Amino acid sequence: MNVTMTVRDIIDTIQEVIILKSGMYLNYDEIKDILKKIDCKLSDVLLKHEVTTYHRFRPEEIEFVINEIRVHIGELSDSNPFTLLKIVKNFPEHQDEFMMVVKELSNCMDWHRREYGLEKPLGKEFVQCLVDKSGTSRKVADLVFYSIAQNLNRSISYEHSIKNWDGVVKLSDLFESEVLPKLPDKYFDQRYIDYLSKNTNSLYGINWRQFEGLTAEFFNRNGFEINLGKGRKDGGIDVYATDSKTGQLLIIQCKRYSKNSKVDVNVVKALYFDVVDKKADHALLATTSEICSEGKRITARNYPISLAEHNNIVEWVKSMETADKL
């Protein structure tokens, strides 16, 4: 089946499905920037033709582009639609059981339709049917069921999304907004973490306040009680992090710098005086860029200051990304 739509309508469809599937809003320019990195005919059409131009395409073409965009923003690990094959590869010890479950899929779907009709979505009853009819473990049945849900989630249908988002976030806010999540014990949105895990160079350009939120989120997830500064006129200390086990106070200063800018030695010296003034046990200078060589020499002379540079921040982000995005 082929579909004919204007370039504008195609991009609108892409935008709407991305919002539904990922919970993230991308504007036209952001979508087009990603399209430049996708090697396919539909991307070329969307980039090179006027928005009023009509184009005839297959549904799987737009599905491919949408999933490639979802991969780019870190919401999917890859655009491969055959998630069951990936699961089988990841769990080779269960290959025979997977095949036994697959053989019973049609029978279980027929049973579920007879028992519950077309309105009730597949769920625990369906999984139990797979277990009973195939004689395999619940783990294998769950994995097969998860692959079905993932395949539906990777389709362009508006009816299938397996994630519930607390509102929609704008990708542009990561770079332009000083507003952080208002929920208790949440300082940075998981969608931005997944985006940065895929686009680590974007760390250089995120908003300075977002970098403070990212830092607070990392230490919050690693056993620290967080007091995040108000952002402006906070006396130079951006994050107060108290170790929940030892009670020791770590003060953190965050410097969101561009790639070619280095943190000056005077920033390191000033942080030492903050340690004394705040009676802190230790301090951390975190930057998206690097610390100048003299600043590193100072911290090497038994100063109670640690450094976290770009590579360290990338490690933070990688450690917090969604574990299983299939």
Assign a CATH topology to domain 176-320. Answer: Trna Endonuclease; Chain: A, domain 1 (3.40.1350)
Examine the pLDDT at 326 and tell me if it is beyond 60: no
Please give the average per-residue pLDDT across 10-19, as a whole number.
Answer: 95
Give the chain's end-to-end CA distance (angstroms, integer): 28
Of the listed ranges 83-92, 99-108, 171-180, the one predicted with least confidence: 83-92
Tens digits of residue pLDDT in 208-246 = 999 999 999 999 999 999 999 887 766 679 999 999 999
Please state, for a pLDDT cut of 70, what percent of the chain lies above it. Answer: 94
Examine the pLDDT at 159 and tell me if it is beyond 60: no
pLDDT of residue 183: 80
Q: Are 324 and 147 in contact (CB under 8 A)?
A: no
pLDDT of residue 90: 84
Please give the average per-residue pLDDT across 2-13, as a whole number.
Answer: 95
Tell me how far apart the alpha carbons of residues 138 and 130 are, in angstroms, rounded to a whole number: 8
Please give the average per-residue pLDDT across 66-83, as a whole number.
Answer: 86
pLDDT of residue 160: 52
Please give the average per-residue pLDDT across 28-34, as a whole number.
Answer: 97
pLDDT of residue 88: 80
The secondary structure of the chain, three-state, reads CCEEEEHHHHHHHHHHHHHHHHCEECCHHHHHHHHCCCCCHHHHHHHHCCCCCEEEECHHHHHHHHHHHHHHCCCCCCCCCCHHHHHHHHCHHHHHHHHHHHHHHHHHHHHHHHHHCCCCCCCHHHHHHHHHHHCCCHHHHHHHHHHHHHHHHCCCCCCCCCCCCCCCEECCHHHHCCCCCCCCCCCCCHHHHHHHHHCHHHHHHCCHHHHHHHHHHHHHHCCEEEEECCCCCCCCCCEEEEECCCCCEEEEEEECCCCCCEECHHHHHHHHHHHHHHCCCEEEEEECCEECHHHHHHHCCCCCEEEECHHHHHHHHHHHCCCCCC
Strand partners, 56: 4
Between 268 and 316, name the one with better pLDDT. 316
pLDDT of residue 158: 53
pLDDT of residue 118: 82
Tell me how far apart the alpha carbons of residues 249 and 87 are, in angstroms, rounded to a whole number: 44
Mean pLDDT of the residues in the chain: 91
Please give the average per-residue pLDDT across 193-201, as a whole number.
Answer: 97
Of the listed ranges 14-28, 46-60, 159-173, the one predicted with least confidence: 159-173
Q: Are 97 and 131 in contact (CB under 8 A)?
A: no
pLDDT of residue 24: 96
Please give the average per-residue pLDDT across 12-41, as a whole number.
Answer: 95
Please give the average per-residue pLDDT across 94-102, as a whole number.
Answer: 91
Q: Where are the domains of the chain?
A: 3-72, 83-153, 176-320
Q: Please provide residue 226's backbone torsions phi and psi, each rounded to the nearest 5 degrees.
A: -110, 135
